[in-house]
Amino acid sequence: MIRIMTTNYDALIEKVVAAAGGWRALGRALGIKYQAIQTWKKIPAERVLAIEHATGIPRQQLRPDLYGEYKPQRAKRLAKEV
Protein backbone atom coordinates (compact mmCIF):
# COMPACT_ATOMS: atom_id res chain seq x y z
CA MET A 1 0.00 0.00 0.00
CA ILE A 2 1.37 3.40 -0.98
CA ARG A 3 0.48 6.31 1.24
CA ILE A 4 0.78 9.83 -0.11
CA MET A 5 2.04 12.39 2.41
CA THR A 6 -0.21 15.43 2.27
CA THR A 7 0.57 17.30 5.47
CA ASN A 8 3.36 17.73 7.97
CA TYR A 9 1.26 15.72 10.42
CA ASP A 10 1.20 12.75 8.04
CA ALA A 11 4.99 12.82 7.86
CA LEU A 12 5.24 13.18 11.63
CA ILE A 13 2.91 10.28 12.41
CA GLU A 14 4.76 8.07 9.91
CA LYS A 15 8.03 8.97 11.69
CA VAL A 16 6.47 8.15 15.07
CA VAL A 17 5.08 4.84 13.84
CA ALA A 18 8.39 3.85 12.27
CA ALA A 19 10.32 4.77 15.44
CA ALA A 20 7.93 2.69 17.55
CA GLY A 21 8.25 -0.33 15.26
CA GLY A 22 4.85 -0.14 13.60
CA TRP A 23 1.24 0.74 14.33
CA ARG A 24 0.65 -2.20 16.64
CA ALA A 25 3.87 -1.64 18.58
CA LEU A 26 2.93 2.00 19.09
CA GLY A 27 -0.54 1.00 20.25
CA ARG A 28 0.95 -1.48 22.73
CA ALA A 29 3.40 1.12 24.02
CA LEU A 30 0.52 3.53 24.62
CA GLY A 31 -1.89 0.92 25.97
CA ILE A 32 -4.48 1.60 23.25
CA LYS A 33 -5.63 -0.05 20.03
CA TYR A 34 -3.60 0.98 17.02
CA GLN A 35 -6.81 1.78 15.14
CA ALA A 36 -7.43 4.61 17.60
CA ILE A 37 -4.09 6.16 16.65
CA GLN A 38 -5.08 6.12 12.99
CA THR A 39 -8.03 8.40 13.74
CA TRP A 40 -5.94 11.18 15.30
CA LYS A 41 -5.89 14.54 13.51
CA LYS A 42 -2.92 15.54 15.68
CA ILE A 43 -1.08 13.90 18.55
CA PRO A 44 -3.20 14.30 21.70
CA ALA A 45 -1.54 16.37 24.41
CA GLU A 46 -2.04 13.61 26.96
CA ARG A 47 -0.09 11.15 24.76
CA VAL A 48 2.94 13.31 23.94
CA LEU A 49 5.15 12.23 26.86
CA ALA A 50 4.35 8.54 26.39
CA ILE A 51 5.16 8.78 22.69
CA GLU A 52 8.39 10.64 23.46
CA HIS A 53 9.34 7.86 25.88
CA ALA A 54 8.41 5.07 23.45
CA THR A 55 10.07 6.55 20.37
CA GLY A 56 12.76 8.95 21.54
CA ILE A 57 11.27 11.72 19.40
CA PRO A 58 11.40 14.96 21.40
CA ARG A 59 8.10 16.42 22.60
CA GLN A 60 8.98 19.68 20.86
CA GLN A 61 8.82 17.88 17.51
CA LEU A 62 5.62 16.06 18.42
CA ARG A 63 3.67 19.15 19.54
CA PRO A 64 5.59 22.40 18.96
CA ASP A 65 2.39 24.31 19.71
CA LEU A 66 2.60 23.06 23.31
CA TYR A 67 6.34 22.71 23.94
CA GLY A 68 7.90 25.28 21.64
CA GLU A 69 10.03 24.86 18.57
CA TYR A 70 12.61 22.06 18.64
CA LYS A 71 16.15 23.37 18.48
CA PRO A 72 18.73 20.57 18.17
CA GLN A 73 21.64 22.87 19.07
CA ARG A 74 20.00 23.72 22.40
CA ALA A 75 19.32 20.04 23.11
CA LYS A 76 22.98 19.19 22.51
CA ARG A 77 24.10 22.02 24.80
CA LEU A 78 21.76 20.90 27.58
CA ALA A 79 22.99 17.31 27.27
CA LYS A 80 26.58 18.46 27.74
CA GLU A 81 25.63 20.34 30.91
CA VAL A 82 24.27 17.20 32.58
Domain 8-81 sits in CATH at 1.10.260.40
User: Does the pTM of the predicted model rise above 0.85?
Assistant: no
Residues in the chain predicted with pLDDT less than 70, given as ranges, are 1-7, 73-82
Residue 5: per-residue pLDDT? 43
Q: Contact 59/48 with Cβ under 8 angstroms?
A: yes
Residues 6+ apart with CB under 8 A from 81: none
pLDDT of 9 reads 84
